[in-house]
Amino acid sequence: MQQAIAPATKTTHFDVERVRAYFPILSREVNGCPLVYLDNGATAQKPRQVIETVDRYYRDQNANIHRGVHHLSQRATSAYEAARETVAAWINAPASHQVLFNRGTTDGINLVASSWGRTNLRPGDEVIVSTMEHHSNIVPWQMICEEREAKLRVIPVSDKGELDMAAYADLLGERTRLVAVTHVSNTLGTVNPVREIIDQAHAAGARVLLDGAQALPHMRIDVQALGADFYAFSGHKLFGPTGVGILYGREELLDAMPPYQGGGDMIERVTFEKTTYNTLPHKFEAGTPNIVGGIGLAAAVDYVAALDQEALAAHEQDLLHYATGALESIPGLGIVGTAARKASVISFNIAGQHPFDVGTLLDQQGVAVRTGHHCTQPLMDRYGIPGTVRASFAFYNNRADVDALVDATRRAVDMLS
């Protein structure tokens, strides 16, 4: 089911045109112009392998998993569990039962906040997040801190969009129970020094959750090398289907945590007097999961894994630097987020113009970008702006996409002035 079809040969040159041919949507038009899709941070497009896997599943294989003795149920179960193995291998999880399927990053963070937080946070304890977090990595912690009478502490960010690591060191203390930070900022593109963050948190006796929503699409992740206690990400940003995501956790932590939701599949035995729970990963997977989502996500991982990772990373960095230079040459344009280490995400504003107006004019020219606060309102407050225009690049974008963005932005500036 998850056969790897190598879309590009292994060379140091990234053959972007060959890769683009695997993404059918990239050849459509929008508003009479060729689509230039630069909203990959919100969701990525899907290669043919994923689309065909989903289609084939419903045509040929659909059944509920884990509970049936019949042929289709067994095939679906095998495909779903094989998908878990594929994802576990891709992130180098020690065992596939440490890889929990869920709805996405938001769901994974809520699971940890709810299950781990409820059992481990005491009044006066502290949880550290950062100013650049997505609301998904703020609000669940606020909710559980309020419930447990714990305190939320916040790592500040610099004008360039880097975490203030000295302030982080000061925040860490004996009351710190958990540090929850994003690996890559969805708004600024900043790649955070997560190894350092984890090492310092562990030295202070705290656990670390990394929000990997924006990291997986741009870089290879090794959860063991990172030493993260929890790592959450979304399938749809990783070229897979929507409605499926992953939470990786350390075995001893997951084992000790109570279930997040009750229902089918997560139980061992139910009586009205007492219910006992299933083992990992099923303890955290109540109800019928997004079966085809998991299988489709594995198809996406197989697709990405077949690409030359080094060439892919170099290609994305080339797009980042090429686009940064070209955008900066537009009068009145200011880039928000100029960290030394960035993924291929560029937020910008045009002096005197609202990001929505710029985004609307770009859309009229076939260029899809995101505008607004990007679910990072505290970060917008930090910079005193209502939002930004964000162009987020995937490996299937090319320099022609950058040129189209820059030309369309210039025209938008002319039209608005």
Q: Among candidates 350, 83, 74, which has minimal Cα distance to 241?
A: 83
Of 80, 86, 87, 53, which is closest to residue 65 (Cα–Cα)? 80
Least distance to ligand PLP from the beta carbon of 333, Å? 23
Contacts of 78 (CB under 8 A, 6+ apart): none
- Shortest Cβ 217–ligand PLP spacing (Å): 10
- 136 vs 349 by CB, closer to ligand PLP: 136
Do the Cβ atoms of 176 and 168 come closer than 8 Å?
no
Q: Is the dihedral of CA 264, 269, 275, 278 positive or negative?
A: negative
User: Are the beta carbons of 186 and 137 closer than 8 angstroms?
Assistant: no
Nearer to ligand PLP among residue 106 and residue 131 (C-beta): 106
Output the CA–CA distances (angstroms, integers) from residue 141 to 37, 96, 119, 166, 180, in the order listed: 33, 27, 14, 23, 9
Q: Which is nearer to ligand PLP, 188 or 198 (CB)?
A: 188
Concatenating the DSSP letter of every residue in 374-390 gives TT-HHHHHHHT-S-EEE
Choosing from 305, 375, 385, 416, the catalytic residue is 375
- Provide the phi-psi class of 399: left if phi over 0, else alpha when psi is between -120 and 50, else beta: alpha
Rank residues 14 and 233 by Cβ distance to ligand PLP and give the closer one. Answer: 233
Residue 184 beta carbon to ligand PLP: minimum distance, rounded to whole angstroms: 7
Q: What number of CA atoms fall less than 13 Å from residue 230's CA on the CB side?
A: 30
**What is the three-class DSSP state of 211?**
strand
**Least CB distance to ligand PLP at residue 242 (A):** 8
Q: How many CB atoms lie within 10 A of CB 381?
A: 12
Site residues (vs ligand PLP, CB under 6 A): 104-106, 134, 136-137, 182, 186, 211, 213-214, 234
Nearer to ligand PLP, 66 or 218 (CB): 218
**Nearer to ligand PLP (CB atom), residue 254 or residue 343:** 343
| 275, 210 contact by CB (below 8 A) | no
CB of 212 to ligand PLP, least distance (A): 8
Number of Cβ within a 10 Å radius of residue 267: 16
In whole angstroms, the minimum distance from the beta carbon of 261 to ligand PLP comes to 16
375 is catalytic: yes
State the Cα angle at 279 between 275 and 283, rounded to 5°.
65
The catalytic site residues sit at: 375
